Amino acid sequence: MGAKLGTNETIADLNLTPLIDIVLVVLIIMMVNIPIQIEQMGVKLPGKVEVNTPPPDTDVKQLVIAVYPEKSGDFALALNRTLMSEHTLRMEVTTRLRNMEKKRVFVDADESVPFGRVVDMLDLARAAGADAVGLAKMKDGGPAPYTAASVGSTPRGIIVGNVKVVFYEGSTVATLSAKTADATIRAHMTELMGCYQLGLAQSSTLTGQVVARVDVGPDGQLMGHSISSDTLGNDAVTTCIDEQVLPTLAFEPLGDQNTAAVQFPLVFSPG
């Protein structure tokens, strides 16, 4: 491509082949990248959000996550006006949603909270299993004030009373005593809490005592389970304990035709 002019000069020819090669490679790279970029730009949504849902009552089973700005610049989180850490909040919401049929969560925040933080809460609610997420109507002074939860892992408690073991037939066996039975029921504390949450979802001040009874046979198998007494007054909770927790209790074999009855008094209090 070098044209020779009249004078005797050397003219450098641009070597075009590698130039075209490079340009075509760059073009191909762009053509491959663009669909990927278009993919990433697709709109991503944390689902439909209901705006301005009416302020929920605290008695009806609803979950309200509220975000408050703290003076330190950090943010306080509360579930149904009970202050808790994000980790506890996540666990509480997941547990409660599991027991609710209409899985709705409301998120409320003070107007100075950054929007990203509110979306985090919406995200948390969805990750915990909420089907419908709503933004509660904003009030002038911010969300309703919170109260600090009592120190401990969960704000509501079950106290295991004096466990009684009575041997009906045969002699007492060392492997089944009040202490071991106590340990057995404590191993199922999470399930018991789950049952209690069922009742708490309906009435947040549910208090009472439930005495559960289990009959153990010679092989350690359960021969029967029942609720001996109940001052809780909530059928959902007692049925849950009777049908879902008691049958899962495991005992050591008693041997030799021994049978025993074990009584667990459980005191439920909303903390």
Partner 1 sequence: MGAKLGSSGGPMADINVTPLIDVVLVLLVVFMVITPMLSSGQNVDLPMADEVTKVNDVGQFIVISVTEDRGWWVEQEQVDEDSLIPTLNLEFNHNPKRSILVKADRDLAYGDVRVVMDLLADNNWTSVLIAAGKRK
Binding site for partner 1 (CB under 8 A): 1, 16, 19-20, 23-24, 26-27, 30-31, 34, 37-38, 41-52, 67, 109-120, 122-123, 126-127, 135, 138
Shortest distance in whole angstroms from residue 3 CB to partner 1:
13
CA distance linking residue 237 with residue 91, whole number of Å: 20
Report residue 240: phi and psi, to 5°.
-60, -45
Shortest distance in whole angstroms from residue 129 CB to partner 1:
10
CB-based contacts of 215: which residues, under 8 Å, 6+ apart?
A: 222, 223, 224, 225, 259, 260, 261, 262
Shortest distance in whole angstroms from residue 8 CB to partner 1:
23
Cβ closest to partner 1, residue 3 vs residue 151: 3
User: What are the CB-based long-range contacts (under 8 Å, 24+) for 168-173?
Assistant: 168/259, 168/260, 168/261, 169/257, 169/258, 169/259, 170/218, 170/254, 170/255, 170/256, 170/257, 170/258, 170/259, 171/258, 173/252, 173/254, 173/255, 173/258, 173/260
Shortest distance in whole angstroms from residue 124 CB to partner 1:
9
Shortest distance in whole angstroms from residue 9 CB to partner 1:
21
Q: Is 16 helix (H, G, I), strand (E, B) or coil?
A: helix
Cβ closest to partner 1, residue 113 vs residue 201: 113
Cβ closest to partner 1, residue 24 vs residue 250: 24
Shortest distance in whole angstroms from residue 77 CB to partner 1:
14
Cβ closest to partner 1, residue 52 vs residue 172: 52
Cβ closest to partner 1, residue 14 vs residue 174: 14
Structure tokens at 203: 């009435």
Shortest distance in whole angstroms from residue 182 CB to partner 1:
41
Cβ closest to partner 1, residue 142 vs residue 170: 142
Cβ closest to partner 1, residue 27 vs residue 159: 27
User: What are the CB-based long-range contacts (under 8 Å, 24+) for 94-101?
Assistant: 94/128, 94/129, 95/193, 95/194, 95/197, 96/63, 96/197, 96/201, 97/63, 97/128, 97/129, 97/130, 98/129, 98/194, 99/194, 99/197, 99/198, 99/201, 100/61, 100/63, 100/201
